[in-house]
Amino acid sequence: MFRLAEMDTMIQQSEISHRVCRYGAAVCAALFLLQTTAAPYPPQNAPTATQPGPQISPQQLDDLVAPIALYPDPLVGEVLAASTYPMEVAEAEQWVRDHTHWKPSKLMDEAKKQPWDPSIQALAAFPDVLAHLTQDMNWTTQLGNAFLAQQADVMKAVQRMRAKAEAKGTLRSTPQQTVTTQNQGGQSAITIEPANPDVWDVPNYNPAYIWGAPDWGVYPPLLYPGIDAGLGWYPGIDLGLYFGGWGGWGWGGWGWGPNWYGGNMFIDNSFFNRYGFRNFQGGGALGNSTWMHNPQHRLGVPYANREVAGRYAPNGAGGRSGSAMARGSNRGALAPQQRLGSKGFEQRGSTSHHSVFGGYQHGGMTRMQSDRGFGSMGAGRIGGFGGGGHGGGGRR
């Protein structure tokens, strides 16, 4: 009986390691860095902490959400959900770039067959957003950790940044977006909706242009437009090309939507069932339900602190499967015969065009190694991101 259980565990570990390595050595190397630089987990048998972990300050949260605060509401919701699965974000970005020759409908159909969370699968329609998220996996991981630990505070930070931008005159309605202030139960919220519900435009902006220098710390060290350019737009995304029969649903029919007044996020069950998303674990075929994090898609990436880990992974990092991977995924991970990604990806990994981890062989890996605190910003950490400047960055 014991030998059967042991064999079953070995098979699970092998399957998980196979999954992590199938897109090449870069993902495996990133996982190794995540494990070695993140805050450690409590042992499996340790009692769950009852006290909350260190709180991230409002100023730190403002800096953290700055790169996505002006995204359309439904996309903000999806990005926040996706950021809680950083390894799958990295996988998806590589996968999308390996299949740029596919038509949008085929790309989305195939993305829904991948073993990712639906929030990752649907981002296949937004390659520029995926590229933005993978420029600095330290930031993406911190964003997800903050959302898991302080969901309502993160939502408030987005609203604070929007209010600051509106007061400064850098957030307003345009042909690409509709900006409105809504009130409910004595609370107000600034909403950003795509002006055209069928073609979504995503802003590409420099936080220093939108808000000026941060009140505290630094903005995440990503590639931003030059401060003279300030704000532009990625190519519009025609959702009808990715989701047949999209017309008429409007932006409100998207799968994720922030609940600004409740400090959490809704998911639209109808969206997932209508378009056949794999791995959907919502509350039914119709109506809305509250978004819940799924530790099975965490893939061993450490949570921010004991309290969060105890809430989502009481049996260890990322649940039982994630814990198994965290213990054994590095064995032979870099062996050439185990690199199951495409040949194109393997070649890109040694060039300056490989951007999954900010070009990890040309400075990105060094930055990741020096950016301590992959698992959490840390309430007392000065500077927040261990580098960068006050919103400075090159042109894209």
pLDDT-wise least confident of 27-36, 136-145, 150-159, 253-262:
27-36
Is residue 356 predicted with pLDDT exceeding 60? no
DSSP state of 238: E
In the prediction, which pLDDT does 13 show?
47
In angstroms, the CA 373 to CA 64 distance is 14
pLDDT band for 268, please (50, 70, 90 cuts). Answer: confident
Q: What's the whole-number mean pLDDT along residues 303-328? A: 61
In the prediction, which pLDDT does 284 show?
65
pLDDT band for 235, please (50, 70, 90 cuts). Answer: very high
Looking at per-residue pLDDT, the higher value among 73 and 9 belongs to 73
In angstroms, the CA 110 to CA 346 distance is 21
**Torsion angles phi and psi, residue 367, rounded to 5:** -65, -40
Amino acid letter, residue 145: N
Is residue 383 predicted with pLDDT exceeding 50? no
pLDDT in tens, 278-303: 666 666 667 777 889 999 999 989 99
**Integer angstrom CA distances of residue 29 from 54, 90, 268:** 28, 12, 35
Is residue 343 predicted with pLDDT exceeding 50? no
Tokens describing residue 387: 């580098």
Q: What's the whole-number mean pLDDT along residues 204-211? A: 97
Distance of CA 127 to the CA centre of its chain: 13
Looking at per-residue pLDDT, the higher value among 77 and 252 belongs to 77
Cβ–Cβ under 8 Å, residues 299 and 31: yes
Judged by DSSP in three states, 204 sits in strand
Nearest to 93 by CA among 274, 354, 381: 354
Cβ–Cβ under 8 Å, residues 239 and 246: yes
pLDDT in tens, 8-48: 544 444 444 444 444 443 454 454 445 433 433 333 333 33
- CA angle 301/12/30 to nearest 5° reads 30
**Integer angstrom CA distances of residue 362 from 226, 350, 353, 357, 396:** 22, 9, 10, 10, 17
Cβ–Cβ under 8 Å, residues 291 and 257: no
H or E element in which residue 296 lies:
none
In the prediction, which pLDDT does 33 show?
41
Q: What is the mean pLDDT of the chain?
A: 74
Tokens describing residue 182: 């809504």
Is residue 137 predicted with pLDDT exceeding 50? yes
Is residue 365 predicted with pLDDT exceeding 70? no
In the prediction, which pLDDT does 105 show?
94
Tokens describing residue 38: 């993140």
In the prediction, which pLDDT does 315 show?
53
β partners of residue 179: 192
Is residue 392 predicted with pLDDT exceeding 80? no
